[in-house]
Amino acid sequence: MNSPNKLPLLKDGLRMMVNQLKPQDRVAIAVYAGSSGLVLPSTSVANKGEIIAALDRLEAGGSTNGGAGINLAYTVAANNFISGGNNRVILATDGDFNVGTTSDESLVSLIEEKRKSGIFLSVLGFGTGNLNDSMMEKLSNKGNGNYAYIDSRDEARKALGEQVAGTLLTIAKDVKIQVEFNPALVAGYRLIGYENRLLANRDFNDDMKDAGEIGAGHSVTAIYEVVPAGVAIENDGIELKYSETPKSDTRFANELMTVKLRYKDPDGDTSKLLTMGVLDNARSVENASQNLRFAASVVQFGLLLRDSRYRGNASFGMAKQLASSAAANDLKGYRSEFLELLDQARNLKG
């Protein structure tokens, strides 16, 4: 953790976070290098100097006993649990856990057990090298939380500064989205990405099935590739609402799809259902919103990086043109940063 993009960056990011907390908030710090220990007992942010001083005293060294550290953190959080409050463990790591509970399965089981306490989890991955990115994401998924990879001060400022409310405050848990396409208008479809978050259709109504969380101010974007009706394609998707309607029934003639969303309140166990039909307005991509055009550019970029067989005629030039057309209202510079990544990738690819 000694390298500049690890412990120093962690301290920097957590200082940003503490400076945005309110006096009634409380912070405790546990470490897990070699053996676990409590560096700072639960302390009011009214005593911000004590918290910052404890951060400044942190040092790198020893092996990584993540399981013991997680247990200690949840114990401290449980002992200081605030009913109706935002109770959360923030796990910061630069790599694999190599002492104590180390297997993915054991760590996931540990987190699944701990989430029953009503304490949420945020996972922050720092630096490069042996960071087990997939395991960190898996732990955050099972801990009713979120995951952020931080390799620069800009990323730290984004996750723990500008978007700290989304990192620390969950507004909806076990969020599930189900999309039904109207076969009268759509011959086939493909969800792009989310391979590790797919659920079976039967799981949508099952409140016992774990799903993702949404933080304050966060948005979730899902992109589908759609093949219009009349084009021959193998489609193994399960047709629901529309397939049950006789062909002579024109109630859904202009309805492209139905979007269903289930979610639970942060302290709830029973889901709520929202349903909305979406009409086919036959608009071109040039007339789409800036957000949609930018998201489509990001998808193209991902397909090119993965050299996906679905990339079609996508190119870095097309992706940049689409993103540039949607970069006007870039108040925080995120879209211009993406354009720089596009140029770097195109140069690397030659």
* Whole-Å CA distances, 204 to 94, 103, 185, 196, 242: 35, 29, 24, 16, 18
pLDDT: is 59 or 43 the higher one? 43
Token pair, residue 20, equals 């945005």
From residue 197, alpha-carbon distances to 122, 211, 213, 297, 341 in Å are 18, 8, 12, 22, 26
Percent of the chain beyond pLDDT 90? 39
What end-to-end distance do the CA atoms of the chain give, in Å? 35
Lowest mean pLDDT among 182-186, 232-236, 314-318: 232-236
Q: Extract the tokens encoding 127.
A: 């630096």
Pairing relationship of beta strands 26-31 and 272-279 according to DSSP bridges: unpaired
Average pLDDT over residues 309-314: 88
The per-residue DSSP string of 102-138 comes to -SHHHHHHHHHHHGGGT-EEEEEEESSSS--HHHHHH
281 vs 241, higher pLDDT = 281
Q: Count of CB atoms within 10 A of residue 291's CB? A: 12
- Burial (CB count <10 Å: 0-12, 13-18, 19+), residue 158: buried
The CA distance from 309 to 299, in Å, is 13
Which domains does the chain show, CATH number per domain?
A: 7-168 (3.40.50.410), 173-282 (no CATH), 286-349 (no CATH)
Instruction: Tell me: pLDDT of 315 over 90.
Output: yes
